[in-house]
Structure 1
């Protein structure tokens, strides 16, 4: 448990200056990393995968959140369940593969056998007084939000997940992720603290100079700009984009696709943000030519030009839902200076590779962007180690959402530590 007395971490939290990046120990200290894992990743809803990761009863997926090994499984009633991946006999891991299909969960050490509901079904040679009912798998709270799977390791998970779910379900439902499939997924190890990965995602100030692929389908004025720096031509372009955004929202919402921005990044425990945005060029998808990457559209969508729905959650995810495919991202901390970025590309479950979509085209934009961002995060991590590092000011026009991420993080840490 965390020490409730005054600590260096509490002092750092107290003196955090709004509108500025965090002090170096937040990115480099193993002690603060341990606190992050206990407070942030141990007590909040963490995005870990999608329903298509475990589409059928008996399908299971394993993952680690810090020291916690987790199993996510679909049971015989088609419900998603989660358990600690720890046998109740002598602690061996039950599921060793990332993804697998099982009839029951069987420990390879001594064959203790659990049902998909976590109940202990078989334990040989345990004597007459042994009570199997007391030795089921330890459950983990799990929720599926229209196909996005979140877990919470706390015994008392934040109740405002229900608020987010109620607001987000109408936005996500048209894309029908439960009837999609994972066409491709990729893990990369980013050489930086998990907060640097998240901060990098929360702004596009860096995009123009670093993401030639990503900026093809994006409008330059969609992620913030300084109005006082625009010339007459640029002001006209910004005004045109604003008109396009408003017109697109009206059109999409008239077709049953909620689009208006909802933002609760730093005023809810389960912080989130969403908005549907128009795409540049042919305006269909996050591809190098901005055309749909998959012929078979998702869910009940019948027009490839319904823009891109963005959905961010605190502390560890961001997602993009287009008419033809979706890309989901999760960040799982490994240590104070390394993070796992897991990306999955989803298409309609009936889409056929090589006929309806080409994997290379499907993944090209975000595969390149992830590699570029990983390099940038590494630069920031190297800088945070330097004695010359000090918190720098965020741009009020293009980095306001980074500031909100830091506000949320500091607020959550401070509340649990009793600042």
Structure 2
């Protein structure tokens, strides 16, 4: 049964802190539509790495609910975004997920646009027709140290400039804008997008990730007093590795201090540089670098991981040898696209500088395992027996995500007539 709008408002208003959301937030179509309207159409979203658009005319398309957006590199090398809607009679223009064009041509009546969005050709128009009035509708687009963000709102969140200025010094040393895509894997999880994001924001379940635990300190979210006996050896190794890593970061002038503002601003984010376990170089079974050609002129590969979260749909890991980006796109109340992209140095050669299976092994396995967990969570929440449960101390960032999300819904509902 469809949830009444008034009931949606009541559910949002009464959400208590510190526990999971009620079932309609995860399984209801009306909440899915509200999530697109209130969250995805009003926030800055990570949609691609610049490396996915290496040349003018290269594009990707992004579908968000009823929206479709073209993200394209123009002839001046800038990244632009446009609604994927022809200004003639509204046809979808580009129907592939990615590609390269000289001009953007609608396949219906051949209206032709430049990669700057200007209408270049429209056959058989009436006298006085002004092409300058019929360019593609723009979408806000920003690049930050090689990462591409868009915002569908007419007035985007004003804090993005500040966020970009604070994260750029962390990202810049990795030279992401100069990297190339080693591979990209799309995985559809059979669960609500919020379950995907909640799952990412905690390591309470990390015992289910043996490949990840081999090279990653599985103490994320734990305070020292909460470390269970089974994780105590890993915690002791972390303390030693962290002390060594801080000396390295200081010597290379690499920012590493934690900044965490996940639910106190419209563009919630977290960023921190920390060590990895074993060889400490990369996300590989033994912790050694997966790519011999480092992303930049680092004097050592032992730089651990620079990790970043940005609400509502992305997380990232940047190492000395490669970077991994994750973007989350809702497909329906019970289906979510997780797109993972591995970036390496532009001159790195597969089979010589890196082996693709080694590069992707840890996170491919982890993503597959997470997909199983998210599907189980969605099936359980869909049961009439489901009741919200409490978040533990190690799930603090899950609570921060949910609080950020509910705050966005409340603000949007208050703006409604």
> What's the TM-score once normalised by structure 2's chain length?
0.95
Distance of 1:402 and 1:349 partners within structure 2: 36
Change (3 A) 1:230 1:101: closer
Distance of 1:40 and 1:167 partners within structure 2: 23
1:36-86 deviation line (CA, Å, top 9, x unaligned): 000000100011111011111111111211111110111111000000111
Structure 1: segments with no counterpart, 5+ residues: none
Query: Contact 2:329–2:337 at 8 Å: present in 1 too?
Result: yes
CA-based RMSD: 1.7
Within 5 Å, give how 1:299-338 maps onto structure 2: 299-338=296-335
1:243-267 deviation line (CA, Å, top 9, x unaligned): 5424423430331211111001000
Change (3 A) 1:94 1:302: farther
- Following superposition, the deviation at residue 107 of structure 1 comes to 1.3
Structure 2 SS opposite 1:187: strand
2:411 to 380, 398, 415: 415
**Is 1:211 equivalent to 2:209 in the alignment?**
yes
Partner of 2:399: 403
Distance of 2:25 and 2:224 partners within structure 1: 29
- Following superposition, the deviation at residue 304 of structure 1 comes to 0.5
Partner of 2:225: 227
- Following superposition, the deviation at residue 119 of structure 1 comes to 0.6
Partner of 1:151: 150
- Following superposition, the deviation at residue 299 of structure 1 comes to 2.3
Partner of 1:36: 35
Distance of 1:126 and 1:302 partners within structure 2: 62
Query: Contact 1:45–1:150 at 8 Å: present in 2 too?
Result: yes
Within 5 Å, give how 1:105-144 maps onto structure 2: 105-144=104-143
Query: Contact 2:206–2:218 at 8 Å: present in 1 too?
Result: no
Partner of 2:344: 347
**Is 1:85 equivalent to 2:84 in the alignment?**
yes
1:291-331 deviation line (CA, Å, top 9, x unaligned): 10100000232310011000100000000001101110000
Distance of 1:222 and 1:91 partners within structure 2: 47
- Following superposition, the deviation at residue 196 of structure 1 comes to 0.2
**Is 1:255 equivalent to 2:252 in the alignment?**
yes
Distance of 2:203 and 2:232 partners within structure 1: 19
Structure 2 SS opposite 1:215: helix
- Following superposition, the deviation at residue 387 of structure 1 comes to 1.1
- Following superposition, the deviation at residue 235 of structure 1 comes to 5.6
Structure 2: segments with no counterpart, 5+ residues: none
Partner of 1:181: 180
- Following superposition, the deviation at residue 102 of structure 1 comes to 1.1
Query: Contact 1:179–1:299 at 8 Å: present in 2 too?
Result: no
Distance of 1:217 and 1:350 partners within structure 2: 26
**Is 1:385 equivalent to 2:382 in the alignment?**
yes
